Each structure stands twice: as structure tokens, then as C-alpha cells.
Chains A and B, each alone.
Chain A
Amino acid sequence: MNILLAIVIGAAFGAVLDRIGATNPTWIGRMLALTNLHLMKTILLAIGVGSVLMFGGQMLGLVDVGHMSVKAAYLGVFIGGLMLGAGWALAGYCPGTGVCAAASGRKDALFFLAGGLLGAAAYMVTYPAWKASGLLDSVAGGKVTLGTVPGSKFDGLTAMSGDVLGIVLGAAFIVVALVLPERIGGGGVAVPAE
């Protein structure tokens, strides 16, 4: 059953990443160089929609709170984020869009995957040094949500109702998606990339 869901949800995710332009380095590059924010608006709306549905569903008892999976906060999250961001800009791919782009026939994505496998292997080998450095030690409570979600196994950073906060933040993402201009700084290009 789980494998069937992996196939259905995974395939839907891959197809949607293709259709929104996220697997195309041209749209990633335009978003990150701030010349065309179409993809940024798409991503912000998606986070907002996902958040409102998930927290709304949890409040109504339709979504199992136990399915939440919150990752730990530690200093390495920020350092790793900086690294991922730099590589994302250089390559135009992140891990998920890179595998989809390779499947779409993009040759540069195959080089991205090869580099990615080597980078992941390099981390596996150097992991003990990071562990010893203390940069992987939890900060601010580690696996926390911004508010306290009823029934969740994760603590809240604040005592605010995590459900309500999740819906409010989700709505905020949707509003930002709506008001964010598509093009800034001189117009940019809207020519189809393919």
C-alpha cells in the first residue's frame, strides 16, 4: 500500500515540478536573479495552500497530526542552507528538480546528479567531524514548530496555538504570492524557455 502511494504521489510531484517550470534552470535562474518571480509566486502559493489544508484538516480531525515530521534546528542547518543555495544557483537544480530534469533528458542534470552523489558521499565520510564540532547540536529546542500544535509530538517554540498560527502563516504565504510582482527591475524576460 505504501509503495503504491509512493508511486502515485511521487509521480504527481514529478509531473507538477515539470509543469510549473521548476525542473528548468532558466526559470530557477530568473527567480533567483530576481528578473522573473513567476516560480516564486507558484512556490509561495503551494506552501500556503499546503499549510492551510494541513492545519485546517488537523483542527477538523481529518488529518492525522502524527504524520507531521519536523526536522531539528541546529547551526548546521543555516550553513548547509547557504551551501545548498550557492549550488542551487550555480547548477539551477536542487535535489528533487535535478532528478526530474535528468529524467526529462537534460544533459547538465546528469552532471548535477553525479556531483550530487559525490557530494552526499563526501558528507557521509566527513559526518563525524561535523558531529564532533557541535554544529549539529540542537538550538532553540531542536525539532520545534513556531506555535504549539495540539496532539503533536513536537514542542512549540511559543505557546501560541500551532494550528491557528499555521493557518495564519499559510494565508500570509498566499497573500505574498498574490502581491509579489512577477517581474522586477527593468522587465526581465517572459519568453517561453522551450
Chain B
Amino acid sequence: MPLNWKLGGLLLGLVFFAAVLLVKPIGVSTQFVILDGIIGNAVNPELVTQTEEGYSSTNAYLAKSDGKYARAVANPLNYSFVFVLAMMAGAFASVMARGGLGAEERRLPEIWRRSFGDTPVKRYMLAFLGGFVVLYGARLAGGCTSGHMMSGMMQTSLSGYIFAAGAFAAAVPVSILMYRKGELS
């Protein structure tokens, strides 16, 4: 059972505040691009190149904003990339501290079992497809739930509100179609 929303919301808010107080607002989805770049650059070392002014890339997206992403690909031990690795470690430690997830839950989340039964192949294919659409959309939007919705709306940025409107406009009908019947039965 998750933490009471008052305590959970307070803790989550404190983390977002600590990030902006000490460094900068939290964001995650860019790091998928950085990892793609690291993999791409390992396969093809021509992808990211060091120039006199900094870094550039044969990929226009990595090269944009004066090679900001190309620089991160060439130097993976940067704040934002390490941040995501630390998130994984933190989540792992937290799950282990509360006894770990059961084998059944690791295989399929409860909500899926309630609505669709024991159908892991269907679930994994949908998770893959969902991941593709989520990251394509996040990069098009320039941020995800963390960067646009949480950090963005917290800073009263217009883009955060535009993003949240789009995200919920699509997410709510899709989820209702998928789960509402099973959850309310």
C-alpha cells in the first residue's frame, strides 16, 4: 500500500524543491536520448565529435543547442545522467527495504491481471509500444511528466500547463477504455 497522500505528496514536493534549491529542476526523458547517443557512438564513433568550440554530432538532434546533448553523450558522468542512475538505485533500495515485489507482481501488475488475466506477452508488447510512444512524445514536447508536468507547473511555466493538458486529454480516455470496467467490477 502506498504512503498516505499527505505524507507522500509532502515528501515528493520536498524532493522537487530540493532539486531546484540546490541544482536545477528535475527532468528525466532527455537521458533516453543520451543513452541512445552513447550506444550509437559506441557502434559508430563518428556520431559525436569534439570540435574546437565543444562537441557536435552528425545527428541534428544531438548537435542542436551548440551540441549540448553531444557533450553529455561524450561525458556520461554528468549530473543529469547520474541522477537517473541514482533514481534506479533509490527505487531498488526502497523496494528491497519493504520486502521486494512478489514474483506475480514482477511478472504482471495487478491491474492488468484483473482486466486481462494472465497474458504476459500481450502486456509486454503493449509496454514496449507504450514506451516507444511515451519517449517519442516526450522528446517532441521537450520534456516528460517530471520535467514538464511536475517541474514545469511548479515553476508556473506555460509549457507545463500545455503539456499536462495534452497528456491527461489522451491518458484518461485510454485508461478508462482499458481498465475502468475491470476495476469497478
Give chain A's interface residues, CB within 8 Å of chain B: 2-3, 5-21, 23-27, 29-30, 32-36, 38-39, 41-51, 53-54, 57, 63-64, 67-74, 76-109, 111-125, 127-128, 130-131, 140-141, 143-147, 149, 154, 157, 162, 165-166, 169-170, 173, 177, 182, 185-189, 191-194
Contacts and interface: CB of A to CB of B under 8 A. Distances in A.
Contacts of A69: 24-25, 151, 155
A189 to B, nearest CB: 6
A124 B20 CA distance: 28
B146 interface: yes
B112 A25 contact: yes
Interface of B: 1-3, 5-6, 8-26, 28-29, 31-33, 35-37, 39-40, 59-62, 64, 77, 79-80, 82-95, 100-102, 105-112, 120, 123-148, 150-172, 174-176, 178-180, 183-184
A77 B145 contact: no
Contact of A45 (B9, B89, B95, B171): B9
B1 to A, nearest CB: 4
A53 B134 contact: no
A96 B79 CA distance: 15
B40 to A, nearest CB: 8
20 contacts: A6-B80, A14-B89, A19-B8, A26-B109, A34-B176, A47-B154, A49-B9, A50-B20, A70-B157, A86-B133, A87-B133, A89-B170, A106-B106, A107-B107, A108-B127, A115-B129, A119-B132, A121-B40, A145-B155, A166-B156
A106 B101 CA distance: 8
B13 A11 contact: no
Contact of B111 (A3, A29, A45, A93): A29
Nearest to B173: A89
B17 A53 contact: yes
Contact of A89 (B25, B59, B174): B174
A161 to B, nearest CB: 11
A78 B37 CA distance: 26
Contact of A78 (B25, B26, B123, B162): B162
Given A81-B166, A100-B87, A117 B135 contact: yes
Nearest to B125: A111
Nearest to A113: B131
Contacts of B111: 25-26, 29-30, 92, 193
Contacts of A182: 5
Contact of A77 (B23, B141, B170): B141
A87 B2 CA distance: 23
Closest 5 CB pairs of A and B: A81-B166, A91-B130, A83-B137, A45-B9, A80-B141
Central interface residue in B35, B82, B83, by most chain A CB within 10 Å? B83
